[in-house]
Amino acid sequence: METVGSGKLGGDDLPTKIGSVIGTLLEFTGVAFFLLIVYAGITWMTAAGDPGPTKKAKDIMTAAIVGLIFVLSAYAITSFIGQNVSK
């Protein structure tokens, strides 16, 4: 079985390919979360005490964290159901 980074999606069966696609999407979600947190942190640090940018930064952080929780919860529920249905 080849690795995901070698140009192929892994194994030949459909569940393996779907798992690889989901794993890739989760990686992009993690990168997006990281970038949003960094952007919000920079916005907060450069606000210099101004309540407007500070509130914007807090709102971005809150939205990023809530979004990450939703994505990880959806993955956990889907994974749990998939494992129990396949048995």
Tell whether the model's pLDDT for residue 4 goes beyond 70: no
Q: How far apart are CA 53 and CA 42, in angstroms?
A: 10
Residue 5 has pLDDT above 70, yes or no: no
Average the pLDDT over each of 8-17, 18-27, 44-53, 63-72 and give the range with the smallest value: 8-17
Whether residue 1 is predicted with pLDDT greater than 50 in this model: the reply is no
| 38-86 residue pLDDT tens | 999 999 999 998 999 999 999 999 999 999 999 999 888 888 887 887 7
Tell whether the model's pLDDT for residue 2 goes beyond 70. no
Domain ranges of the chain: 14-85
